[in-house]
Structure 1
Amino acid sequence: MTRPRPPYLMRERTRHGKVVWYVRKGDGPRIRIPGEYGSGEFTEAYHAAISGQSPASKKAQSDTLEWLITRYRETSAWLTLAAATRRQRENIFKHVIDKSGHERFADITRSHMVAGRERRASTPAQARNFLDAMRGVFRWALDAGMIEVDPTAGVKNIARVKGEGFEVWTEDEVAQYEQRWPIGTKERVWLDVILYTGLRRGDAVRIGKQHVRDGVASIKTEKSRYTIEVTIPILSTLQATLDAGPTGDLAFICGDKGQPLTKESFGNVFREACRKAGVQKSAHGVRKIGATRAANAGATVAELEALFGWQGGAMASLYTRSADRRRLAKGAINKLDRGTN
């Protein structure tokens, strides 16, 4: 499968037939990226450009943390990460380089990693992402023989708060959203694609007509690194929404001008549509109510895993156990009622 192009990178061919590369963020200036695509020079210039530096700026010394991170970005360990993970870690690296990029990477210790985690402790997800990003760098450096001790070894992530995660939508909230965004609006397409396919955002924004054959959609999931394929019959309710549109050429979910959306931008616009409908929840909560509906209708663990792309039984069992408890409770209350007569 073709590897996704890094964000903000544009390819052009000159009138002389030469391929040139540029970085352009929004309406900002176009910055020419020198060197052959994928080379060390090219990669370093690209990362300098998206960080707001000039590609011609002074190169980092070969013993600094900035240099080490730049070299890491050229490796298979980095390039095989999901595009969304790379974007997330780029933002982390930018802050790390701004603060400590000049430090010698050989002098980075476990206490530095702990301190970095603790500075982000008020936002546990950021603390975990910071450690995950730096683990990637230093584990690669250890394997490459650049360091003798991995400073992230033994540093624990901040524990996740036990709970239900993204809050599941209620049936009333689904009805409330549907009333605000009727069939024929792009916002209704957004909801119904997630609700009636069970796809995560990263897959929901990719699925389109090209994935559907004889009324059944098949798509390999982003979370599995495109190794697990889910097969989803297109229900008549969803088909009616898609027929009314609007949809894009390559993806059912689209923006104002029919353009495809990244999962990040979709998350933002979907959240805004929810707020306008008076719903204070997320796209992932829609996926949860889909799983709840299926389980309550009697779907088995195997059936839920086939639809939602889960593995191992644990996630699917959460929904089937809840549904089973509900059915058992109904049976028990009927027995209680007979026992009181």
Structure 2
Amino acid sequence: MNDLMPRKLPLYVCKQKDRNGAWVYYFRIGKGSRTRLPDPNNARFRAAYQAALAGTDIEIRDRDAPNTIAWLIARYMESAEWAGLQPATRKQRSNIFFHVKEKSDGRGGKIGMKSYSLITEKAVRAGMEDRGKTPAAANNYLKSMSALCKWAVKNGHMKSNPAEGADRYKLKGDGFPAWEIEDVRAFCIKWPIGTKQRLAMELAMHTGLRRSDLVRIGRQHLRGSALSITTAKTSARITVELPQRVIDIIAATQTGDLHFLVTDYGKPFSVPGFGNWFGEASRKAGLEKNTHGLRKLAATMAANGGATAHELMSQFGWSNSKQAEIYTKKADRARLGVKASRIVSEQLENELAPHSETCEGKIPNSVTNSSTKN
């Protein structure tokens, strides 16, 4: 523990958690007014505490003082733009902003206390480099800072968005490994119809839902063979059709009243709990893959079957065509590659005929013309 942190808070000092789950400290005598104090780990805490005891103004206020990075973040998190984000996005960005504010400035203070004018393109790039060992984390940091600065420009706090000049890191590979048909067969052999694991796999494949939605679906979402749900991540309304075979598998499996997938205790899964449970089921089938890989297989099969980008968006709940085009372009490349190879074969056959056995090719026109004259 830092030597500056007292084992017990000084007299009249209390603490509570703010909206981000971080501890904030106040000076308060009885039921009097509260005075915000710096973190006890901060070198300025002692001076601020002594000033509060003496009833004098504290020269250096808390980390949310106007025009600081922490202040700008706090205003953004009170905005309509922030309220319009999905809960998962808000949670992720809150965590990123918390670490931005709490990072040491190298002088006993924290970055959050610095002026937000220090948020420059160079500073954003430095933040990405700090997270460079995990490219996905660096990209999430860039996305969060870009959203913050975009809001700041819109509301007159900044003249331009310094995050626009930073480039995203290229991610190696395609993320979570996709399933193959052979993997599905292996899973089905291990988990026959009637098991909850088999039902989970079938629902994941036929709906293409993320695990945050798989744990929510139940009979209330089913009308005949059509299943409709508003996705948790993007709030997109999707409707898919379940074949009779899957309807029969649901009937053959122990489910809950409002959830198709439940624990051994009959309770709905939490999202992390379901992920761990399904991962274990996959390992028992000899696979190191998860439900997101099933989603990739479903999207690949749909694209290979001729589904358009907009059709994929409708099923998988993507808000734009960028993700869908990853699959349609792969399918188009395969289809066009086959088509091109056939053209090459046809052209080669034309050039080699009529002596394709010996590859002698066509008789040149000049030869045919001279033999005719003779």
TM-score by length of 1: 0.71
Answer yes or no: is the 8 Å Cα contact 1:291–1:319 preserved in 2: no
Unaligned runs of 5+ in 2: 1-15, 27-35, 38-61, 104-110, 349-355, 358-374
State the number of aligned residues: 290
* Alignment partner, residue 195 of structure 2: 185
Deviations 1:40-92 (A, max 9, x none): xxxx95425x23x2575745332332232222211111111111111211221
**3-state DSSP of counterpart to 1:184:** coil
How well do the aligned residues superpose, as a CA RMSD in angstroms? Answer: 3.5
Partner SS for 2:162: coil
Deviation at 1:224, TM superposition (A): 4.2
- 8 Å CA contact 1:271, 1:281 repeated in 2: yes
CA distance in 2, matches of 1:192, 1:330: 36
Q: Partner of 1:47 in structure 2?
A: 19
Describe the shift of the 1:221–1:76 C-alpha distance in structure 2 as closer, same or farther (beyond 3 A).
same
**Deviation digits for residues 121-162 of structure 1, max 9, x if unmatched?**
11100000111112222222232223345432312222334x
> 1:60 aligned to 46, 49, 63, which one?
63
C-alpha distance in 1, partners of 2:338/2:120? Answer: 55
1:257 and 2:265 correspond? yes
| CA deviation vs aligned residue, 1:236-286 (integer Å, no higher than 9, x gap) | 232233223333333323344343345444334322332232211232221
Structure 2 length normalisation: TM-score? 0.66
* Alpha-carbon spacing, 1:246–1:101, altered in 2? closer, same or farther (3 Å): farther
> Which structure has the larger Rg?
2
Q: Supply the distance in 2 between the matched residues of 1:138 and 1:306 (Cα, whole angstroms).
A: 32
Q: Which runs of 5+ in 1 are unaligned?
A: 1-43
Contact 1:199 1:308 (C-alpha < 8 Å) held by counterparts: yes
In 1, the alpha carbon distance for the partners of 2:253 and 2:214 equals: 15
1:88-99 residue pairs with structure 2 within 5 A?
A: 88-99=92-103
- Kept in 2, the 8 Å contact 1:184–1:245? The answer is yes
Taking the aligned partners of 1:287 and 1:115, their CA distance within structure 2 comes to 35
The answer to whether the 8 Å contact 2:303/2:328 transfers is no
- The residue that corresponds to 2:168 in the other structure is 157
2:144 to 133, 151, 175: 133
Deviations 1:75-111 (A, max 9, x none): 1111111111112112212222221223232333322
- CA deviation after TM superposition for structure 1 residue 223, in Å: 5.0
Higher relative contact order (Cα pairs below 8 Å, separated by 6+ residues): 1
Which of 72-81 and 250-259 deviates more? 250-259
Q: Say whether 1:86 aligns with 2:94.
A: no
Q: More displaced, 254-263 or 319-328? A: 319-328
Matched with 1:113 is 124
Change (3 A) 1:61 1:282: same
Matches within 5 A, 1:194-213: 194-213=204-223
Q: Secondary structure at the match of 1:252?
A: coil
Q: 1:71 to 1:117 in 2, by over 3 A?
A: same
SS in 2 for 1:122: coil
